[in-house]
């Protein structure tokens, strides 16, 4: 994947391969700017690589049209972005339910699941607060609940504990690991926390060797 940079381009993830087996968890560590967020965006099909191929359950996604890809992503992948992307007008429950709304009907079962997920991340009391009235860490936990809402096959989480105190961060990693295990989903989590990284089935370290200026 390359981006424009100054007069030239910066090549990120040059020669990187990554396979996530079904139902397993993988943590990715590496210094700032080495390409972790870029890797998650590529895995999610939100960016298109200059070369190479992304496959979901064996299927190359490069050939899929934008609409098909977006619909497939909504059920296949749950994402926790580094900068949450919550909808400011909706309360916490509304933000979690938005994931379900995108793929279909929102009925009592979806409402119950959304409320249960908010309770699991410790936000039962905050369900009716809009993001502006939530702390950074609370917003992050809403984003975690939203990522899990549609029972995705793969959860991609970008520093989901970055803003959290030790105990709350520990709790969020536990919820991600538990819910993914319950649903036999795969989890890819970017973290700078060695203790959190140690809890996943596999650990990867992305080196700056894969970063080149051209
Ligand atoms: N849209 C973009 N345009 C230009 N350069 C970009 C863009 N997105 C990322 N980059 C560059 O690509 C490299 C990798 O960025 P990326 O966000 O993937 O790093 P990261 O490992 O997630 O870092 P951090 O730990 O700080 O979140 C960086 O050098 C960054 O400046
Ligand atoms: Mg990043």
Task: Quick: pLDDT tens for 78-98.
Answer: 999 888 899 999 999 999 999
Phi, psi of 123 (to 5 degrees): -120, 25
8-12, 127-131, 160-164: least confidently modelled range: 160-164
Residue 119 lies in a domain: yes
189 part of a folded domain: yes
Residue 16 maps to a domain: no
Q: How far is CA 86 from the centre of its chain?
A: 13
pLDDT at res. 100: 95
Over range 133-160, report the average pLDDT: 94
Give the pocket of ligand 1 (CB within 6 Å): 3, 5, 10, 12, 30, 32-38, 82
**Contacts of residue 209, Cβ cutoff 8 Å, sequence gap at least 6:** none
Question: Residue 2 falls within a domain, yes or no?
Answer: no
pLDDT at residue 44 in the model: 96
Could you list the residue range(s) of the whole structural domain that residue 154 is in?
Answer: 21-32+39-48+63-202
pLDDT band at residue 31 using 50, 70 and 90 as cut-offs: very high
14: in domain = no
**Structural domains of the chain, count:** 1
CATH number at residue 127: 3.40.50.300
Best mutation site among 18, 27, 38, 41 for ligand 1 pocket (most ligand atoms within 8 Å of CB): 38
Residue 210 lies in a domain: no
Whether 71 maps to a domain, the answer reads: yes
> Terminus-to-terminus CA distance in the chain, angstroms?
12
| 213 within some domain | no
pTM of the shown model: 0.94
């Amino acid at each position: 994947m390359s981006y424009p940079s100054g007069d030239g381009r910066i090549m990120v993830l040059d020669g990187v391969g990554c396979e996530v087996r079904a139902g397993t968890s993988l943590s990715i560590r590496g210094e700032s700017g080495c390409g972790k967020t870029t890797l998650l965006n590529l895995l999610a099909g939100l960016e298109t690589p200059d070369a190479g191929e992304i496959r979901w359950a064996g299927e190359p996604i490069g050939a899929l049209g934008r609409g098909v890809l977006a619909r497939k992503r909504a059920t296949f992948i749950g994402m926790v972005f580094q900068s949450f992307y919550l909808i400011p007008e909706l309360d916490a429950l509304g933000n979690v339910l938005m994931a379900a709304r995108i793929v279909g009907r929102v009925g009592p079962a979806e409402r119950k699941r959304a409320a249960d997920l908010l309770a699991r991340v410790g936000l039962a009391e905050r369900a009716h607060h809009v993001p502006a009235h939530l702390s950074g860490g609370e917003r992050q936990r809403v984003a975690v609940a939203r990522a899990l809402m549609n029972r995705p096959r793969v959860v991609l989480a970008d520093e989901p504990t970055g803003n959290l105190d030790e105990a709350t961060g520990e709790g969020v990693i536990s919820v991600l690991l538990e819910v993914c295990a319950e649903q036999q989903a795969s989890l890819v989590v970017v973290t700078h926390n060695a203790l959190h990284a140690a809890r996943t089935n596999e650990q990867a370290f992305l080196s700056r060797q894969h970063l080149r200026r051209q």
